[in-house]
């Protein structure tokens, strides 16, 4: 197994953070339909397990990122705590990028 690069970890972290936020939106919509409209439980039945799986993936990728990117305890705890409130993983991604804790993605070649 080869060495994991910081850019690869950052890319994986960003992808899972976005997926976690999207699954939160799906679960919240399902909960709205179930509890407010009281018409169907299908949204919760579908998005509940999806969100749960992506949540676990986010925690694993965050721990790997903390090791590879050498985050301190505060940054690591912020990354893990961001998995709990809806859409907070997106906030953490932007904050970590802005503060240099998460490498900026490379630009795609133009030609």
Q: Which residue ranges make up each domain of the chain?
A: 6-99
CA torsion sign for 64, 67, 68, 69 is positive
**Nearest CA among 71, 95, 70, 92 for reference residue 82:** 92
pTM, full prediction: 0.89
What pLDDT, in 10s, does the model give residues 35-66?
999 999 999 999 999 999 999 999 999 999 99
Query: What percent of the chain has pLDDT above 70?
Result: 95
Residue 87: left if φ>0, alpha if ψ -120 to 50, beta else—which one? left
Residue 30 in tokens? 């399902």
Q: Residue 1 has what pLDDT?
A: 44
pLDDT confidence band for 109 (50 / 70 / 90): confident
Let me know: does 17 contact 58? Beta carbons within 8 Å.
yes
């Amino acid at each position: 197994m080869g060495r994991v690069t910081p850019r690869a970890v950052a890319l994986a972290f960003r992808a899972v953070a976005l997926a976690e936020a999207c699954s939160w939106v799906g679960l919240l919509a399902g909960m709205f339909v179930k509890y407010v409209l009281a018409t169907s439980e299908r949204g919760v039945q579908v998005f509940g397990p999806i969100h749960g799986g992506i949540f676990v993936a986010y925690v694993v990728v965050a721990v790997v990122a903390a090791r590879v990117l050498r985050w301190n305890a505060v940054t690591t705890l912020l990354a893990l705590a961001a998995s709990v409130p809806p859409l907070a993983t997106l906030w953490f991604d932007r904050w970590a990028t802005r503060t240099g804790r998460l490498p900026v993605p490379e630009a795609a070649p133009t030609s």
